[in-house]
Chains A and B, each alone.
Chain A
Amino acid sequence: MIWLTDVLAVIPISLFIWAVSLVLGAVVAVPTAGARMSQLRPVRILAAVYIEIFRGIPTLVWLFVIFFGLRTFGLSPTALVSAILTLGIASSAYIAETYRSGLSSVPIQQREATTALGLSPRLSLIKIVLPQAKPIIFAGLGSYAIHLLKETALTSLIGVVEMMTVANYLVERGANGLTVFFVTGVIYMLLCLPIAGAVRLLGRSRRQNRPAGPDSLTPLSTPTAPPECAAPWHGMRWHECNSSST
């Protein structure tokens, strides 16, 4: 199992691609989601098209398109740059939808209540809507983050030296493919564990542990709605097929 160290050695590269694209995606997703929910119809449609284009075309194809495309424009990006750019932009489309479904899971009545109290839309968003959307957004962000980590394996196909590239190389050099690829798969799974944990921690609402007073009734309902997706199958990806047993 001497080869194992070689695979482990490039974990930081996979994690680097993952982290940078995730941050890039999460940031670009903010204006994208804003545009998607804009009052102006053309803006809304434009954002919807952007999102649909990135969700409707396989990431691998995007990797090639951007890799080849940048060259056509005379740039010679390294594989790593193309990889991060592709995964980052694609992420922004997915994450924008996560933001949107989180925000729209907050009942419209909550906004009405703030309007009736004379709160500005901005304050209403910050004080009322976002705190309620937070657990749902983090849950969606978390499963996307896990999905994205697995997607980084694709970057080996445009020549980024990450775990899959090394695993492949080792197998070509005569290592046992069965063990190498299985162990690589397990490494990916193990890497996902702390992400899932972190997300659970971040998404925990500030108040969940507040003790109810001695004279309180039994909770009538949990305050946070279950993650609700307008159309969960629409442009669904692997990461969106979660369910309880994992």
Chain B
Amino acid sequence: MNVSMEKQPRMTETVQSAPRGQEAAEQPAVQVSNLGKSFGAVEVLRDIELEISTGEVITLIGPSGSGKSTLIRCMNLLETPSSGTLQVMGETLVQDGKILPKRSQLQEFRAKVGMVFQSFNLFPHLSALENISLAQVHTLGRRRAEADERSAQLLDSVGLGQRMNHMPAHLSGGQQQRVAIARALAMDPDVMLFDEPTSAIDPELRVEVLKVMRDLAQSGMTMAIVTHELKFARMISDQVLFLADGTIVERGTPDELFGAPQHERTHQFLAAIEETKL
């Protein structure tokens, strides 16, 4: 990947995250404790302890089926955790596996946590601009013109100012994913979640998405990313978590985890990935 490799100092960049109202002092943006998740009798996640500070970027890596998607989907309650607690921006959303807020409050909360999916999930019958404006109007109650203006500005910032009126089917995978990122950012989220955002994109187009994500990280956005792009993970993250068989096996700074993995399982995983590159 051609995204520059050094960890750059954070600064406001092309992509601007939402102006954060009151910095929740000392309080982590996301706090997960003792979280578990089962599908029927199958336990997919157990004893997950995790904290993301405001402005921090964490990446989740691990073998297929280890529960990365499930964990990240629990963070915006697309999956309901079976046990444990979840706090986002100081608000307790799940306690002992029970969702606390009412449905209407939940919708508000979800808007504050942006989600980017592996398969983009743009709305195919709406143009790029309309994709981004829709929830601004209907969830945040912005006026149409105001929303469209913001959408255009966001599209510009992800390098797609020229494609406002294109339908998703007329955009490449990399472009669709950038629209999807803009769509999530339009809600002025406090946290952004990414589930393998580049896995479904042709390799030569991934870099344009990664650049947008890097810019976003540098602007100070709190991010949780599931990815198989280890180089990118190393460059962008403050913290890397290695997940296997539903638990966090190892965590640390990128240099610690990639440079000197402590666990055999982590070692295996990294070595296996290294091998496929040959």
Residues in A lying within 8 Å of B, measured CB to CB: 107, 109-110, 112-120, 123, 127-128, 131-132, 205-207, 210, 212-213, 215-217, 219-224
Question: How many Å lie between the Cα of A206 and that of B127 in the bound state?
Answer: 12
A117 in contact with B121 (CB, 8 Å): no
For B169, give its contact among A112, A128, A215, A221 (CB under 8 Å): A221
Which of B123, B125, B165 has the largest number of chain A CB atoms within 10 A?
B125
Q: How many chain B residues touch A (Cβ–Cβ < 8 Å)? A: 36
Known: A127-B134, A207-B167. 7 other contacts (CB 8 A): A109-B119, A110-B123, A117-B139, A118-B109, A119-B134, A213-B166, A215-B163
Give every chain B residue within 8 A of A120 (Cβ-Cβ). 104, 107, 138
Which B residues are CB-close (under 8 A) to A118?
107-111, 135, 139, 187
A107 CA / B76 CA spacing, docked (Å):
20
User: In the complex, which of the residues A107, A205, A215 contacts B162, with contact meaning CB atoms closer than 8 Å?
Assistant: A215
Where the two chains meet, the residues of B that have a C-beta atom closer than 8 Å to any C-beta of A are: 76, 78, 104, 107-111, 113-115, 117, 119, 121-125, 134-135, 138-139, 162-163, 165-173, 183-184, 187
> How far is A215 from B160 in the complex, measured between Cα atoms in Å?
12
Cross-interface CB contact of B117 among A109, A127, A132, A221, cutoff 8 Å: A109
Q: Are B121 and A112 in contact (CB under 8 A)?
A: yes
Query: Which residue of B is nearest A215, CB measured?
Result: B162
Take A109-B117, A117-B183, A127-B138 as given contacts and tell me if A212 and B170 are in contact as well, using a CB distance cutoff of 8 Å: yes
Complex Cα spacing A109 to B124, Å: 12
The reply to whether A219 and B169 form a contact with Cβ atoms under 8 Å apart is yes
CB pairs A–B below 8 angstroms (11 shown): A107-B121, A112-B78, A112-B121, A116-B110, A117-B184, A118-B111, A207-B125, A210-B167, A220-B170, A223-B124, A223-B167
Chain A residues within an 8 Å CB radius of B170? 212-213, 216-217, 219-220
CA distance A223 to B131 in the complex (A): 14
Interface centre among B107, B109, B172 (most CB of A within 10 A): B107
Pair B123/A113 contact, Cβ less than 8 Å? yes
Least distance between B60 CB and chain A CB atoms (Å): 18
Q: What's the Cα separation between A132 and B122 when bound, in Å?
A: 12
B78 and A220 within 8 A (CB) = no
CB distance from A204 to the nearest CB of B (A): 12
Contacts A112-B117, A117-B110 given; does A131 touch B78 at CB 8 Å: no
Give the complex CA separation of A109 and B118 in angstroms: 10
In the assembled complex, the CB of B28 is this many whole angstroms from the nearest CB of chain A, namely 21
In angstroms, Cα B123 to Cα A118, docked, is 15
CB distance B169 to A117 under 8 Å? no
CB distance from A193 to the nearest CB of B (A): 29
Residues of chain A within 8 A of B76, CB atoms compared: 116
Complex-state Cα separation, A207 to B169, whole angstroms: 12
Interchain CA distance A131-B114 in the complex, whole Å: 24
Smallest distance from the beta carbon of B69 to chain A beta carbons, Å? 11
The answer to whether B125 and A131 have CB atoms under 8 Å apart is yes
Cα distance A123–B137 when bound, in Å?
A: 11
Bound CA–CA A114/B135 (angstroms): 8
Residue among A107, A118, A206 facing the most chain B CB atoms (10 A cut-off): A118
CA separation between A117 and B123, bound complex, in Å? 12
